[in-house]
A and B are shown apart, each in its own frame.
Chain A
């Protein structure tokens, strides 16, 4: 197998320099250390456990689902079938097996959450880094814009942007959530950069003639990264909630099943009155637990990576 991969022999033959390899080794070692610390923290361990379970469902959900959920072809059963041994949670208004939908939904919900959070964090970190490092009037302008975005009710902002896009697919949904969610991160990163900028090692680096790009790359980024990373994990949780809320309010992504769309249809069909309790309860619980997993993991990471907060 490895011989078919063009990169592997190249790496073996030393395209990665000694230095890079050493860096990688240290990086791995540090990650292992962080993971060990997280597992010692009961909350963090619980978070990781939850996330592993959902990662498994997200990867293998469609394979282990009892029935296929083909959004294009439509449902293959009668609608509103009650719970039975064939349909553990019954079937929905479009004739899909609800339990299978639940398993399919894990993948889309988690993908939307992660990608939206990565976009939001990347944007927020870049803006915060620039604003904090450059300072002056540019910082002022950026911070005013940031205040404005933070002050407009987020739900309305997202719905209006969704209206611009018309019919939203999954990529659209990711973009909406990602592009509206950066302000908090920007503020956080800016504050961090402001405090790093004043430290002595930056002054020393400047004194020996380092340029701004080098200072940002070698000194500021590594110091701000842990914060951004922990914050990204927490943003994943918020993005998953935003996805559910938007889908529920009618901004349903076309062509995919998410827990939010399931809840939207369930509420529209008064699932409880027709006896399909799981249709409402199960997707909601899934959202709660995934969000809980990411939040616990995020807080545990924050505890470990940002020593300022560590127990004194």
Chain B
């Protein structure tokens, strides 16, 4: 276990290092974006910036400063919004992204595992074939495209049907009706949930295939084991066999998959947030890339990468706990 922990630390350190050099060697001069191109401003503003963001330091010096700041959470301020701290910006965006990703992950897991389990249980049947087909169809869909299609389908047309629902297609909540800062009251929360429907639906359906197919194949694997035959021979009902003998043994691959899919969900969230104008981490990242806002960009990547590494580590621990056959490497 100690070795695994060392690996986690090493990997996160590697992510931090690669991330730093990738971003700092990126072509383009962020200073050009930061200082207004107007003769009215003299060079003092520019030198302030140079001083504040260590532009005059050499690359190795900046690397050391970066490492120190990353570890101490002293992330400084953004290039673009000079008065706000990177940490505050990221925490604010992260809340909305976690809400979005969390909701969709819960749905994906519930629906995907249910679908996969039932498909495996009635293997080769109509449900199995159609659910596999539908899953693979959605798997092939570019997430941004599906987001656009849903956005169109639920915004203007009713397709000649009066009951066709109209759903909000952008933003966190209805800022026209509830202006000002977010407040905790029922109508605002309902508005938030309403705005969450389409983005989280897009993300869920986009990652459904992975969950349901792995669940199905892992259960099918288990179903051919001798102990399942034994359980049947004891006279247990199909449901009892599935619930008490097959499912627990089919779980390990799912745990590994859930940890791995976090990276995928983050990638998908970028596209969904862009299309639905949902300013979370993904939306912020894409803008930071276009604006060359290095402080924001580098800390988002560190957090995203570290999240994936930690998730995989936790999955290893959970696996150890639920599957005694796995030995500690």
Binding site for B on A (CB under 8 A): 42-43, 144-145, 147-148, 150-157, 159-160, 163-164, 166, 237, 241, 244-245, 248-249, 260, 263, 267, 272, 280-281, 284, 287-292, 295-296, 309, 312
Contact = CB atoms under 8 A, between A and B. Distances in A.
Nearest to A146: B11
Can you list the 8 inter-chain pairs with the closest CB atoms, starting with the nearest? Answer: A291-B140, A284-B145, A148-B14, A151-B308, A151-B305, A292-B140, A288-B140, A155-B267
B22 A153 contact: no
Interface residues of B, number: 49
B305 A291 contact: no
Contacts of A166: 27
Contacts, number: 125
B149 A154 contact: no
B27 A152 contact: no
A289 B141 CA distance: 9
B263 A154 contact: yes
B26 A163 contact: yes
B301 A237 contact: no
B290 to A, nearest CB: 8
B66 interface: no
A172 to B, nearest CB: 14
A241 B140 contact: yes
A237 B306 CA distance: 28
Given A147-B14, A152-B18, 6 more contacts: A148-B305, A151-B306, A152-B305, A153-B301, A155-B270, A288-B141
B55 interface: no
Contact of A163 (B28, B142, B145, B266): B28
Nearest to B129: A42
B11 A144 contact: yes
B301 A241 contact: no
B142 A248 contact: yes
Contacts of B308: 150-151
Nearest to A237: B140
A290 B306 CA distance: 34
Interface string B4-33: 000100110011001100110111100000
Interface stretch (B90-98, B131-139, B184-192): B131-139
Contacts of B142: 241, 244-245, 248, 260, 263, 284, 287-288
Interface of A is mostly: helix
Given A237-B140, A288-B140, A312 B224 contact: yes
B11 A151 contact: yes
A287 B308 CA distance: 28
A156 B301 contact: yes
B309 interface: yes
Nearest to B271: A245
B304 interface: yes
Contacts of A150: 263, 308
14 contacts: A144-B7, A144-B14, A147-B14, A148-B15, A152-B19, A153-B263, A154-B263, A154-B267, A245-B142, A263-B142, A280-B149, A280-B152, A287-B145, A292-B140
B116 to A, nearest CB: 15
A289 B27 contact: no
B139 A295 contact: yes
Contacts of A249: 271, 274, 286
B289 A163 contact: yes
Nearest to A243: B142
A157 B19 CA distance: 9
Interface string B263-307: 100110011001000000000011001000000010011001110
Interface string B217-247: 1000000100000000000000000000000
A147 B11 contact: yes
Contacts of B146: 284
Interface in B88-134: 129, 132-133
- Most A C-beta atoms less than 10 A away, residue of B26, B144, B308, B309: B144
B148 interface: yes
Interface centre among A152, A156, A248, A309 (most CB of B within 10 A): A156
Given A148-B15, A160-B22, A153 B267 contact: yes
A258 to B, nearest CB: 12
A112 B232 CA distance: 50
A252 to B, nearest CB: 14
Contacts of A147: 7, 11, 14, 309
Given A152-B301, A153-B263, A289 B140 contact: yes
A148 B7 CA distance: 11
A292 B26 CA distance: 36
B136 A280 contact: no
A289 B138 CA distance: 10
A62 to B, nearest CB: 24
